[in-house]
Structure 1
């Protein structure tokens, strides 16, 4: 019996309807994660390129858009367990180039940017109130890395009552096996996993 068959037999992996209104969350697509010599690698650059198209569509359809960045205090006072586990992340400060969102995805007026020191973009931020106030039902998720901050944000999105829709070619990881395993896990338990082209095709009639 395959892994998928085991999950299916136990009732996991049910499909979710794509319910508008939609919102978009782009997790940690910053310069440091775009650079293989810092925190990037594997399929992250490709995911960023695909997300440029996604963001353009989201703006045309006037979806609420939010972005996250990892930003630690200059004196590392907020480093916590995440900073001790991955001390190289402490280089991501408010004004360091590595912590800035990549130019091709730069936020515009009216879009939310949350700063965080833990994996989830929801924990300790005003992301949930921002989405709730704008009536978001389904949250489209792009970003890095799939096995870390993306997955954590998806779990919290579901916990807040949003339907997560993870676009598999708009999320990336520094290693492909954790990326694949996390997409499988998300699809079985927490949200819908689609490719960008399929998602756009299924939603083009109802822009949400």
Structure 2
């Protein structure tokens, strides 16, 4: 499916700006209440900012260069997972629960931002290969994470335990790892397809 690249560039720049702005908000809340899940989600917002900014820059490049950018994006998607894992390990010895009120407020805000971003990107998700696949997957994962964190606020208030927050942080690690693998594989498929078109692969 072909897309209007100018429209796509405007869309990803809008999404990049929204993600950067809310990352600052969510990170401030996450640090103040000591939430593993919110820290992972805040770093995830930064990853989405970087991914969408790279897309805006890479549009118009050759397929080979776009494939390289797609693989860079796959690595970027892993970064929030690493941040969440480190904080989760640090909190295992002292699993204090985060304050459920600020946790819920931050999660609802994140959910609204992620709904907007997913809505903006959904029509571009298969338009420019691994580039838009990366942006859409990142927005989709953030939306799923937002729903999970809203639920986490309720579970935390009910149980008074920090373990749900730790477990959700680990869940976000797995979610981001899956997205990274999908984007990497998509980029590799594009590289092989480009080689085939150029006659670089044997027919057998």
- TM-score greater than 0.5 by the shorter chain: no
Q: Which has the higher strand share?
A: 1
**TM norm structure 1:** 0.31
Q: Which has the higher helix share?
A: 2
Rg (Cα) greater in structure:
2
